[in-house]
Amino acid sequence: MGFKAQVLPPDQFALWAQGARGTGQALDGRAFAELSKPTSYVKPMTYGAVAPGLFDAIVANRAPPPQIMPHNPPTSEQGAGQHAR
């Protein structure tokens, strides 16, 4: 996994963290599973809270797995060389 990180001095990080608390969605099991799906680009986001025990569940490999939809090959109606539109 590759990502960019923005490094801030401690005082600026503290201000950012204070502003982020309580805003936006909570990082819970469902959000973590969604976040765990393979993607090529996801816009930056901030979670305002973390569900109790989520970190421990991730470390213990008990976090909800991502629900990855299987690739469906074309049906006989679509033909081998055609894709649904």
Q: Rounded to an integer, what distance in angstroms lies between the CA atom of residue 56 and that of residue 24?
A: 22
| Cα-only R_g, the chain | 19
Residue 85: its pLDDT value, please?
43
Residue 8: its pLDDT value, please?
94
Average pLDDT for residues 30-42, to the nearest whole number? Answer: 85
Residue 6: its pLDDT value, please?
86
pTM: 0.57
Q: Across-strand partners of 27?
A: 50
Q: Write out pLDDT tens, residues 41-77.
A: 878 888 889 999 999 988 898 877 665 555 555 555 5
Average pLDDT for residues 4-25, to the nearest whole number? Answer: 89
Which tokens in the block code for residue 24?
């936006």
Distances (CA, A) of 33 to 11, 12, 22: 32, 30, 21
Neighbours of 32 (CB within 10 A): 20
**Identity (one letter) of the amino acid at 44?**
P
